[in-house]
Amino acid sequence: MPIELPIVWIILLNVAGWPVIQLSLAWVFTRMPVTWFNPGGARAWEQSGRFYERVFGIKSWKDRLPDASRWFGGGFAKGTLAGTNADYLRRFIRETWRGELCHWFALGCTPVFFLWNPWWADLVMIAYGLAANLPCILAQRYNRWRFQRLLARRF
């Protein structure tokens, strides 16, 4: 804890910090051109998304996650599939990479909280960062696999 602050400020920074980080990153990422996002190659261990079904039971909870991309103008809604043509599916796949990277960046901001928190609160911030971002990362990766399979079957 390099910065000593009164407890009220620590609580305020902790409570307000995560929403500010998450929403700021979401806004910035929605402003980036979609052409910047290319998910790259497949990972064998993901087993075309089946890994997420088997290990995390993702089908039962992924639809309950919020989709903040719609909160900003120009965001691409990923809550439901709005089409099945090849161009739309390719765009959706790119958008899952955009969403995943946004959540990785948010998780990467966790050490900022180490500046003013005692060590035990650092652990709480790490736990919160993982709880708030990891489910979204998993859902983005899972959906990307689903749409890549759909695209390969149809086109």
pLDDT in tens, 41-69: 778 888 888 999 999 999 999 999 988 77
How far is the CA of 56 from the CAs of 6, 65, 111, 155, in angstroms? 40, 14, 27, 29
State pLDDT tens for residues 6-26: 999 999 999 999 999 999 999
Range of the domain at 47: 7-154
Model-level pTM?
Answer: 0.91
78 lies in some domain:
yes
**First-last CA distance in the chain:** 55
State pLDDT tens for residues 89-143: 999 999 999 999 999 999 999 999 999 999 999 999 999 999 999 999 999 999 9
Let me know: does 31 contact 74? Beta carbons within 8 Å.
Answer: yes
Let me know: does 67 contact 78? Beta carbons within 8 Å.
Answer: yes
Alpha-carbon gap, residue 125 to 114, rounded angstroms: 8
2 lies in some domain:
no
22 lies in some domain:
yes
| Amino acid code (one letter) for 96 | T
**How many structural domains compose the chain?**
1
1 lies in some domain:
no
52 lies in some domain:
yes
